[in-house]
Amino acid sequence: MDKNQSEVATLLQQIEAEYQAAYNGLDGFAMTAPHVFRTSCSERIGKLHEDLQQIVGLEDAILLVAQTLDRL
């Protein structure tokens, strides 16, 4: 696997993990400030998406993230 494919795979795994964390924050244990936690996860997903765009371009980044989240 070349460097870009590895970077893309890593970014998608991180996006998936952040999404799962945000979802679990909605549905999981009670926390005192869930909106802060979800906002933080969303911001990290946004940054990861920007990093992904730098590698594959905007349209492909959107498609890859959508496909990744669709599998969840």
Domain ranges of the chain: 34-71
Note whether 26 and 34 are within 8 A (CB): yes
pLDDT value at position 3? 85
Q: pLDDT by residue (tens digit) across 18-41?
A: 998 888 766 655 555 677 778 888
* pTM (predicted TM-score): 0.84
Note whether 56 and 11 are within 8 A (CB): no
Q: Which residue has the higher pLDDT, 40 or 51?
A: 51
Q: Could you tell me the maximum CA-CA distance found in the chain, to the nearest angstrom?
A: 43
